[in-house]
Amino acid sequence: MTLAILAILGGFVLLVWSADRFVEGAAATARHAGMPSLLIGMIIVGFGTSAPEMVVSAMAALDGNPNLALGNAIGSNIVNTGLILGVTALITPIIVQSKIVRKEIPLLLLIGLLLGYFLWDGNLTRFEAVLLLIGFFALTGWSIFSAIMGDGDSLEGEIEQELVVHAMPIKKAIFWLIFGLILLIISSRVLVWGAVNIAHALGVSDLIIGLTIVALGTSLPELAASIIAVRKGEHDIAIGNIVGSNMFNILAVIGIAGVIAPTTNMSADILSRDWLVMMAMTVALLIMAYGFRRTGRINRFEGAGLLVAFCAYNVWLVSSVIG
């Protein structure tokens, strides 16, 4: 048990550090290759912050723990929206100006509904997982198109500023790209091992561990990125990273894990509790970001509401384990 706890703590630290190095290396390499700033931000930086979820879920699926993989993806989305956006908005209200981000949020809602449809029968087949991956590649193509056509979008200026700050020589960029990925895989393997052993020791399901400990740990890069961005006044990056990460988690993270190990006879709680909470938070995010009769923003009161909802959800999880 002690060794498993140390494995989780050490795995989290190495995971967050290696994910940061990997994303910086990938972004700098793409910059040297001449990719547009907006494209780098939307695909490499935006989706790259979900690298921990992707690698952890893939490792969990390879180890025969598809429920942990599914719980990690859905739980990470709940952490992203409830905890990270909630805390970030409490620090500084988030103003949504980017047209691209405003287009992505309804798309995230549709992707979430598609996942619910696939999970309705209590299974996620390999064919359904492949469809999710096809959706991910389609989303990537749409992101490329949006980046090319998105000249003048407020998100581009914020990303350009960040890329200048994190500029690095090409050799150093390639080194961190490769070394960061290797460390990501190693730390994910250690983390999954520790999480599974703790779940067995405590007598709780892999799903619960994935929804809580693992989901929180793999979402730490998004938490750091969003807080830093909003303190710099880069509001569109703060919310754009979360929206992009949530889409990536559903399409790529669940898709890859499902191709490796299809999920059968999953707990009914996934759909009636976890997916439902994820979708409710997505709808709330849509309403806040669009604003309708006011400027789209997440104010401190709304951020507190997201945070309370996140805490209530975790109380629900704990009560279900105790009960």
Successive 10-residue mean pLDDT values, the chain, 323 residues: 84 78 74 66 63 83 87 92 92 79 87 95 94 92 71 56 64 83 80 80 82 81 74 74 88 93 85 95 89 74 94 89 68
Residue 27 φ then ψ, to 5°: -65, -45
- In this prediction the pTM is 0.83
| H-helix or E-strand spanning residue 95 | strand 94-95
Whose tokens are 């961190």? That residue is 176
Q: What is the 8-class DSSP label of residue 93?
A: P
| Contact by Cβ (8 Å): 81, 281 | yes
> 3-state DSSP call for residue 127?
helix
CA distance 46 to 102: 15
Question: What is the per-residue pLDDT for 251?
Answer: 94
Domain enclosing residue 214, as ranges: 2-322
If one counts every other C-beta atom within 10 angstroms of the C-beta of residue 172, the result is 13
Contacts 24+ apart (CB under 8 A), 154-158: 154/97, 154/98, 154/236, 155/38, 155/41, 155/42, 155/98, 155/100, 155/101, 155/236, 155/237, 155/240, 156/37, 156/38, 156/41, 158/41, 158/229, 158/234, 158/236, 158/237
How far apart CA 188 and CA 17 sit, in angstroms, is 12
- Residue 256: per-residue pLDDT: 93
Q: Which pLDDT score, from 0 to 100, does residue 44 have? A: 63
**Looking at the 3D structure of the chain, how many domains does it have?**
1
Type of residue at 11 = G
Does residue 37 sit in helix, strand or coil?
helix
Contact 220, 79 (CB under 8 A): no
The number of beta carbons lying within 10 Å of the beta carbon of residue 232 is 15
Neighbours of 32 (CB within 10 A): 15
Residue 201 burial (10 A CB sphere; 0-12, 13-18, 19+): exposed
Convert 169-207 into a string of H (helix), E (strand) and C (coil).
Answer: CHHHHHHHHHHHHHHHHHHHHHHHHHHHHHHHHHCCCHH
Query: What's the CATH code of the domain at 98?
Result: 1.20.1420.30
**What residues pair up with 124 in beta bridges, in sequence order?**
263
CA separation for the pair 7, 201 (Å, rounded)? 14
- Contact in structure between 72 and 219 (CB atoms under 8 Å): no
Distance CA 89, CA 284 (A): 14
Q: Which helix (DSSP H) or strand (DSSP E) does residue 298 occupy?
A: strand 297-298
